[in-house]
Amino acid sequence: MSSPLNFHLEQYDGPLDLLLDLIRKQEINIYDIPIARITQQYLEYMQKAAEMDIELSAEFVYMAATLIHIKSRMLLPRDPELDKLLPEEDPRQELVDRLLEHERFKSAAEMLQQKRVVEEAVWSNPQIAQFRAEDDDPGLAVTLFDLVKTFQTVLERAKHRPVYEIGTEEVSVPDMIRYLRGVFEQDRGPVSARDLFERQRSRRAMICLFLALLELVKLQAVGLTQQDSFGEIGLKRLKGFEAAFAGGDTLAAIEQGYN
């Protein structure tokens, strides 16, 4: 067998890697590749890979076709007169250029790896935190990519949000009152009641939300609105909102009531 790859089948990142390895291992002059030999070795590799159930990507097949094409072009006799007028480029030229280009980037990758090895042996200990004001939000340094990624995450979350799942979490009526208080501190309303209920993750949470709403309506902190009969029910902050939460008493009293 003529292939230098007989004894162990290696994984290559792509056909260019495989070709380069064949060429370099056999110390072949890359500017004068014996295309028949290399093509044969290349095909042997593909065969072996198939036998060992190693899946090769489509580029390997495409490269095989390219090699065979180059080989056949080199076999065809050329009209010497035509060659004088219109010298044909070596059929291997394009492949050689690609191989050399690829090899340059492999070397560049290696150079980068060496630089990383050095950087991994170096540590820094910045103390800037001691000089930053405490209220500075370190936050995230944001790129465009973060923006897309974040949007994707938000959409995924929306997709997987379980609506009627019975959770094990212990949500209580006072929890829901605090939750509603947060809602109406941001937004005076009207807020869609249906939206609020749909956002709850468990039956228990919905019941607690319902009871919490009743409590707030009783306290005249929140009012219910409906544009037309059977229409959407809206929730609105009322004048009694601040008063209801002024002291801690209201919540404490309700908490007692439900314990």
> Does residue number 1 form part of the binding site for another protein (CB under 8 A)?
no
- Residues with Cβ within 8 Å of 19's Cβ and at least 6 positions away in sequence, in order, are 38, 42, 63, 95, 99
Shorter beta-carbon distance to another protein: residue 48 or 102: 102
What's the maximum distance between 2 C-alpha atoms anywhere in the chain?
106
- Residues with Cβ within 8 Å of 201's Cβ and at least 6 positions away in sequence, in order, are 161, 162, 163, 165, 167, 169
Q: Scan residues 117-146 and list those touching another protein (CB under 8 A).
A: 117-128, 130-133, 136-146
Contact criterion met (CB below 8 Å) for 167 and 200: no
Q: Scan residues 2-21 and list those touching another protein (CB under 8 A).
A: 10, 12-17, 20-21
Give 235's strand partners.
191, 224
Choice from 69, 161, 203, 218 touching another protein (CB under 8 A):
161
Give 222's strand partners.
237
Shorter beta-carbon distance to another protein: residue 182 or 247: 182
Contact range with another protein by CB under 8 A, out of 35-43, 68-76, 148-156, 240-248: 148-156
Choice from 2, 168, 227, 256 touching another protein (CB under 8 A):
227
> Does residue number 32 form part of the binding site for another protein (CB under 8 A)?
no
> Does residue number 258 form part of the binding site for another protein (CB under 8 A)?
no
Shorter beta-carbon distance to another protein: residue 44 or 175: 175
Joined together, the tokens standing for residue 79 give 């009209």
> Does residue number 70 form part of the binding site for another protein (CB under 8 A)?
no
- Residues with Cβ within 8 Å of 224's Cβ and at least 6 positions away in sequence, in order, are 193, 217, 233, 234, 235, 236
Contact criterion met (CB below 8 Å) for 202 and 163: no
> Does residue number 246 form part of the binding site for another protein (CB under 8 A)?
no
Min. distance of Cβ 77 from another protein in angstroms?
31
Shorter beta-carbon distance to another protein: residue 144 or 246: 144
> Does residue number 171 form part of the binding site for another protein (CB under 8 A)?
yes
Contact range with another protein by CB under 8 A, out of 80-88, 188-196, 213-221, 241-249: 188-196
Q: For tokens 């309700």, what's the residue?
A: 254
| Beta sheet of 233-237, edge-to-edge order | 191-192, 233-237, 222-226
| DSSP characters over 211-239 | HHHHHHHHTTSEEEEESSTTS-EEEEE-T
Shorter beta-carbon distance to another protein: residue 25 or 218: 25
> Does residue number 239 form part of the binding site for another protein (CB under 8 A)?
no
Choice from 2, 27, 75, 246 touching another protein (CB under 8 A):
27
> Does residue number 245 form part of the binding site for another protein (CB under 8 A)?
no
Window 98-117: contact mask with another protein (x via CB under 8 A) = x-xxxxxxxxxxxxxx-xxx
